[in-house]
Structure 1
Amino acid sequence: MDVDSPTGPSGLHALARWFLPHASERQMHSTQSLLFTLLLPSLLQLPIGWHLLHYPQHRLPRLIMLPFVVLTAIRCGFSGHVEYTTQSWLNLDLGISAFFTSIRAIWLATKTEAPKYIANDGKPAQPLLLELIGTMRFAGFDIGVPSASEPRWDFIVNRLITSAWCYIGWDILDVAVKHPLVNPATHLGIGSLKICREGPLGLFAEALVFLSVGSIFVYLSIQGSCAFISAISALFVPSTQASWGDLPYIFPLKADSVRALWSTHWHDLFRIMFLDLAFKPTASLARRLGLPRKAQKALGVLAVFTLSGLMHEAGIEGMSWGHADQGWGAGVEGWSYATTKFFVLQGVGVILEDVLQETTGMKVQGWAGRIWAFTWVMGTGWPMIDVWLRHGIIPACPTSWQLSKPLVNAVLSALATWRTS
Structure 2
Amino acid sequence: MFSPPGVDAKSYFSLHFLTPGDGEAVTETATTDEGWPRGWKDRMSWALELELSMRGAGFTWSSADVRHTRSTWRPSIKDRTRSILVHVLPILLVSWAVIRDIYSLYLAHQEPFDDLPIGLQLLLTAALGAFLMSAFSLGHSTFAIMLAPLAPHPLSYFPPLYTARVWELKSVRDFWSYGWHRLFSRLFLVYGVWPGEWLERRLTGKSNEEDADIGKVLGGFVSSAFVHSFAAHTVMGGWHGAFGEAWFFAGNGVAVVVEEGVRMAVVRSRRRKKTGNEKNDMGLERWYDGVVGRVWWVSVLLYTGRNFARGWVRAGLVREMAGL
TM-score scaled by structure 1? 0.55
Does residue 156 of the first structure (1) align with residue 73 of the second (2)? Answer: no
**Cα distance 1:115–1:216, how it changes in 2: closer, same or farther (>3 A)?**
farther
Give the Cα–Cα distance (whole angstroms) in 1 for the partners of residues 107 and 290 of structure 2: 40
1:41-67 Cα offsets, whole Å, 9 max, x none, are xxxxxxxxxxxx99xxxxxxxxxxxxx
Give the Cα–Cα distance (whole angstroms) in 2 for the partners of residues 116 and 259 of structure 1: 36
Q: Where does the alignment leave 5 or more consecutive residues of structure 1 unmatched?
A: 1-52, 55-112, 332-336, 401-421
Task: Report the Cα offset of residue 242 of structure 1.
Answer: 5.0
Give the Cα–Cα distance (whole angstroms) in 2 for the partners of residues 269 and 248 of structure 1: 10
Provide the aligned C-alpha RMSD in A: 3.7
Trace 1:91-110 onto structure 2 (pairs within 5 A). none
Give the Cα–Cα distance (whole angstroms) in 1 for the partners of residues 14 and 205 of structure 2: 44
Give the Cα–Cα distance (whole angstroms) in 1 for the partners of residues 224 and 10 of structure 2: 27
Residue aligned with 1:245, SS: coil
**Cα distance 1:266–1:181, how it changes in 2: closer, same or farther (>3 A)?**
closer
Task: Report the Cα offset of residue 114 of structure 1.
Answer: 10
Counterpart position of 1:227: 141
Give the Cα–Cα distance (whole angstroms) in 1 for the partners of residues 163 and 321 of structure 2: 20
1:60-83 Cα offsets, whole Å, 9 max, x none, are xxxxxxxxxxxxxxxxxxxxxxxx
1:179-228 Cα offsets, whole Å, 9 max, x none, are 36754333x7x66434554xxxx94x444312112x10111111111011
Trace 1:243-254 onto structure 2 (pairs within 5 A). 243-248=157-162, 250-254=164-168
Counterpart position of 1:142: 62
Give the Cα–Cα distance (whole angstroms) in 2 for the partners of residues 191 and 118 of structure 1: 57
In the alignment, residue 392 of structure 1 is paired with which amino acid?
G
1:104-134 Cα offsets, whole Å, 9 max, x none, are xxxxxxxxx9999945535399923332344
Higher RCO structure (Cα 8 Å, ≥6 apart): 1
Aligned length: 269
**Cα distance 1:177–1:183, how it changes in 2: closer, same or farther (>3 A)?**
farther
Give the Cα–Cα distance (whole angstroms) in 2 for the partners of residues 236 and 295 of structure 1: 42
Counterpart position of 2:216: 300
Among 166, 174, 195, the residue aligned to 2:88: 166
Among 183, 195, 200, the residue aligned to 1:269: 183
Residue aligned with 1:148, SS: strand
In the alignment, residue 231 of structure 1 is paired with which amino acid?
I
**Cα distance 1:296–1:305, how it changes in 2: closer, same or farther (>3 A)?**
same
**1:136–1:270 Cα contact (<8 Å) kept:** no
Give the Cα–Cα distance (whole angstroms) in 1 for the partners of residues 12 and 112 of structure 2: 47
Give the Cα–Cα distance (whole angstroms) in 2 for the partners of residues 115 and 248 of structure 1: 28
TM-score scaled by structure 2? 0.69
1:151-173 Cα offsets, whole Å, 9 max, x none, are x6xx2111122223323332333
Residue aligned with 1:340, SS: helix
Does residue 356 of the first structure (1) align with residue 272 of the second (2)? Answer: no
Q: Where does the alignment leave 5 or more consecutive residues of structure 2 unmatched?
A: 18-41, 269-284
In the alignment, residue 175 of structure 1 is paired with which amino acid?
A
